[in-house]
Structures are given as structure tokens and as C-alpha cells.
Amino acid sequence: DIISLTDFPDPGTSIENGSIEQGESKFSLYYSLSLPSKFSLMEAPIAKQIPTSREIHGVTLEDDYAWLKEKENPEVLAYLNAENAYKDFKTAHTKDFQDTLYQEMLSKIKEDDQSVPYQKGNYWYYTRTEVGKAYAIHCRKYGSIEAPEEILIDENELAEGKDFFDLGDLEISPDECWMAYTIDIKGDEKYALYVTDLRSGTVVKEEVEAISPDVEWCNDNRTLYYTMLDEATHRPYRLYRYVVGSGKIQEPFFEEPDDAFYLNLYKTKDEKYFFLYVGSNITTELHIFSADNPTAELNLFQERRNGIEFVAEHHQGNIYILTNENALNFKLMRTQLDQPDREKWEEVIPHDPRVMIDTIDVFKEYLVIYLRREGLKSIHVRPLNGRSPFDIPFEEAVYTVSHSTNIEFDSKVLRFRYSSLTIPSSVYDYDLDTGERELLKRQPVLGGYNPSDYQSERIYATAWDGAKIPVSIVYRKDLRQNSPQALYLYAYGSYGITIEPAFSSARLSLIDRGMIFAFAHIRGGGALGRKWYEDGKFLNKKNSFADFIACAEHLIQKGLTSPEHLAIAGGSAGGMLMGAVVNYRPELFKVVEAHVPFVDVINTMLDPTLPLTVPEYDEWGNPEEKAFFDYLRSYSPYDNVEAKDYPDMLITAGLNDPRVHYWEPAKWCAKLRRLKTDKNILLLKTNMGAGHQGASGRYGRLKEAAFDYSFLLDRLGLIKEE
């Protein structure tokens, strides 16, 4: 039974966790917040409407919820708190089940674990975790892995008492005596710099804040390089040198004025040079300077040319360049360091329209190239000693592979990471001379996990224009039904990013309850190469939405699931995908989870003062141009909410999110509440102490996963007495 709180507390009253009684019945309260009396936990919060409008391209844009952008407005915080309270109230009946899921997920991970050590210089480095501690402990040992342990950083100590914590970077100086690291304690992705003298243990918080996470050491062992964030656009735009302990922030020695471009500093693997990339989403410029000289001047190696991208690596006086110039899927070129002119470049690996070159790694005697063929990653090796090139073979039909820690330039061993939908993350050492492969570690899954109990497959859906869309699926063999069953379909579909078919032990809590888990590798992502990406961006963006719908329809037509059994999810740009497809085909889905969704597309892209807006013109288009305005407006989820039935929905946000500001999901939820005609549940969950990535720490992430999974299992009717 549900009882009504008729005498609701006055504004500002705090309700602590506890219980209330009525007769012989006892009811638990699972919330603690301050809430204005006009909001009732029994009813969905209704945000007030303050009509605003503006005209662009002859079109009047109306926005009743623009006021929710006022982060310091007490009414905004009251509304977000009210939504959180309503979320807690509507999910209170799943609280015990959330705890069950959390404990279940926790029981599958080895809490006291250690990474595979790697050698750099005189030390072996690794991280480890301890039971009951949410964060990693960073350690090293001198000379061998049997030597006494030296703790560099215990993240748990740094995170104590903080709602959010993220260690952005940790870099040891070349003489192994200093450690620089960066910390974010709000989730707003603004980092502060700290330096530790490893000989004395003295920690100094340098007067450097609001920087990007990455730092690099000059080879003089006293000078650090970092990039400062532009306060308005949140992009790394200035490069600084900083002498440790000087207390003096030097003037920037490089600044990028164009809001569409950002800086990325990289130290070459042989540690001889710094490469300063100045890039937008589609254009790259490269400056090179010595890593030995703290006063070295920048040398322009390649100036920016619109639409030309590249990454480079130094190798014994040569520069290897991976570029898309006249090569949609990229090609590998080579030139000498002192001969940057493109007419002097020679081709190493030509362009192949069927194969995407993702990235390269260099060793003294080998080039290692990571490719993507037919949606699957592979490793191609090019010996530099005259031997024939070869591929490292993999056997599963659905898998992913990526580089691991390969620090030493003069090494003949490649370390890579392998995973699939059924095989946990596995670290291998591969001898590039002999071809011998050694499994160093496979992430343990406690509780008797047996990969042979599960089946992964890759199937293909057909898009409206005949394109074949890969769908990776995994299920438990003994729970596979001949009739439609619950299915979780996830996708992203933007920026050329591929959601890799990798293993997740937390996912077993769904699969072991009879769900099929599926990834839709839709256009806009990079699964099938650069053209696959190009066909899902700009004025082709609707292909992403149509592809996802085609995948859902295909899974239904094959009898794997039905609209009553289908749950879908996506985050960030994938959250925009969720918003678009529920506007187009709401009847196709039972339950939707949209995490930090980019849904207020028109208003955000029309505001160049917001972080990331200007660089995003290269992904979505600039709505100041009418063609892009009309196209964006035609699919922007917030602008296309209608008076019709929508599925059960969970929307999440982060109050400190600098990428998708909290007001986008909040405004979308408010508009959906006002217009939707169904009685299905709609929840907004705002993390009031974090940003785009949600809760920090492994336990916080598991608790969020337990909540998310409990919501969809509840709406699918799969919560049973356990």
C-alpha cells in the first residue's frame, strides 16, 4: 500500500533516512533531502514554464525551460532535488533488489587485485586494489618485481571525504626522483597539479589549476609541460612550461586562438621529442620541439589544412605519419625529421577502402599497426629488418584487441589486451621475433564463471538503403528461448567511435536472468571504417537513428525479442540517439535508459559560449547555416517531443558535467512530463556531485549499474523473489 504524506514538511526541512508508521504497518523512507512543500513524492515534479523565444532563419524557437540553465537559482536545485526524490520514491520497491544486484556484481570481481607490472627504467610499475577500498594504489619496485614495494599514490587517501575523485595523470620524471600528478574532485574535468619529491616524500600542490589532465616532463627533470583550459570553452588552448617548486607560472609559450582547435602534447616513445598537436575534430597541425632543452623553440612540422588529419611518431630520425590525405581509411607515410615537405614523403602502407588503420606503435625494429577489418580489430606487424609483414591471429568471431603498456622503445615484446563478449580482459606478451604468445593475466570472474556457458554471435540488419549493420550479441545458452525474450540493445553512433564487443562481469547480472545483450554498430560510429562514420554525421546523421531502428526491427523479426521485451540504452551522443528513436518509434521499445543525453541540440549548438560547441560544428554542423539549422531542428530530441505515448524512461544527468550540461536532460524530462500522454514511468536521476562520467570509484560505479539494471529489469517484469 502507498500512504499519502498529507502534512509534507515546510520548505528547507530535511527528511532523514528512517521510517514512518501507520497502525501496524511500517514504511521505509529511502531519501534524505531538502524539498519545497509544493512538490509531493507521490506525484511527478512539474517544472514551471517561463516562455522564451528567439528568431533565427525566419523560424521562431520557443523554449519554456531555458530557466533551468540557471545553476545558482535555488528553484533549479529544488527541482533537481525533487526529481531525485521522486526517483527514489518510485524505485523504493526495488531497493532490496538493487542491493542484491550490487552484492552480486561485487561478488564477481576480485577486490584485492593487481595489474600486470611493466618495466620502465630501473623500476617495475603496477597498480593494486584492496578489499573495501574504491580506488587504486599506485606502486613501484626497484630492480625486480620481488623487491620491496614503494607506494607512489594511494588514491583512497586522496579521495577520502570527497563526493568525486579522479586521478587524471601520473608521470615520473626521467631521473625517477619526481612524480607529477593531476586531480579532479568535482567531475568538471578541471584538474589541479601536484608534485612529489620521491626521495623525501614531500608533496607540493603547485599553484596550477583548471588544466587538462595530462602533464609531461622535460628531460631536465625539473620542467613540466601542461595545457591550460580556456574558461569559456573548456578546451586546452595554452601550453605552459613550469619549473617545479619555483612558485612562478611562466607565460604560455604557445596559444591557440581558434575556438575549434585544442592542444594535445605527446612525448615520443624514444623520449627525444615533444609533439604538440593542434587539432579540431577534422584537422591537424603538428609542432615539434626537443625534450632535452627546457627553453626549446617550437618548430612547425605540418600546418593545418582543413579536413586533413594525421598522427605521427619519431623513429631514429624518421617520422611515420598516419594520414587521411587522399585516403579515407588512412595510409601510413614516412619522411625524415628534417624533410617535412609532403612531396618528400614515401608510402609505407597504401590506402585500402576495406581496411581502416586505427593507430600505430613503434619499436626499434618493428612497426605495429592496429587495423579494423569488417568491423573487427586486428594487429599487423611490419619488421624493419627485412622480414615479411605478418598479422597476429585471433580465432573468435566477435572480439576486440587493443595495445597495452608498451613503454620501452628497444623491445621485441608487444603487450596487448584481448577481450570478447565471453572472454574477460586478457593481457598477453607477444614475442615479435618468435611469434610466441604468453597469457600474463586474465581478469578473474569469481563465482564459477564458465565462458562455454555463453554464446556470442555477429548478425546483420539491413538498413533502409541496403547497408548491412553489424549487431554483436551474447546470451547464456541454457536460457536461450525459442520465443521472444528480454533483450538489451546498446549503441552510440557518433564521432567515429566504435563500442567494442568487450566483456563485462556486471553484465552477467542481466544475461544470467535470461536477457540477451546486443551492441548495434550503427553508422556514425567507426565499426566499418571512415565511410561508416561519414555516413552518420552532418546531413547524414539520421542514418544513425534509422540504423538503430532497423537493428531493433531485425531482432524482433528474427524472434529474439519483441517490443514488450526490448530495452534500449545509450549515453552522451548515444543518449541523443535514444531521444531521437523514441520520438520516431516509441512503440518499438518497452524501456529506455538515456545517460547524460545530448538532447537539446539546437539550443546548445546555437550558443558558441558553451564549452565544446564550436569544435562540435565539425560533427553536427553549424546551425547558423540554414541547411544545418533545418536538419538539426528536424531531429533534435528536445525540440521534437510530441503529445503521444512514450516508453518507460530513465534519464540521468551530472550537475558538474562540462560536456552535456545537466540542463539538457532536465529540460527534456520536463517537456516529456508535460506532453506525454501515457502513464509509463519517467525518471530523472541527477548526480549532484559528479559530471559526465557519473560516480567515481569502482563501488560507486557498481552501485550506479545496479540501479540502472534494477530499473530495466523491474519495467520488464524480471524481478523475482530471491
**DSSP 3-state assignment of 147?**
coil
CB atoms within 10 A of CB 641: 22
Long-range contacts of 348-352 (CB under 8 A, 24+ apart): 348/320, 348/382, 349/382, 351/326, 351/327
Q: What phi and psi, each to the nearest 5 degrees, are found at residue 672? A: -60, -45
Residue 645: all three cell numbers together: 505515448
Backbone angles phi, psi at 63, to 5 degrees: -145, 105
β-pair type (468-476, 399-403): unpaired
Question: CA Rg, the chain, in Å?
Answer: 26
Q: Are 401 and 381 in contact (CB under 8 A)?
A: no
Do the beta carbons of residue 217 and residue 178 sit within 8 Å?
A: yes
**409: part of which helix (H) or strand (E)?**
none
- Identify the three-state secondary structure at position 577: helix
DSSP of 589-647, one letter per residue? -SEEEEES----HHHHHT-TTSTTHHHHHHHH--TTSHHHHHHHHHH-TGGG--SS---
What is the SS3 assignment for 675?
Answer: helix
Query: Cα torsion at 508, 701, 664, 84 (round to 10°)?
Result: 100
For 115, the grid coordinates are 595489474
- Do the Cβ atoms of 666 and 684 come closer than 8 Å? yes
Return d(Cα 438, Cα 435) in angstroms, integer: 10
* Residue 449 CB contacts under 8 Å (≥ 6 apart), including other chains: 108, 424, 505, 508
Active site residues: 572, 657, 692
Q: How far is CA 674 from the centre of its chain?
A: 31
Q: Evaluate whether 691 touches 186 at the Cβ level (below 8 Å).
A: yes
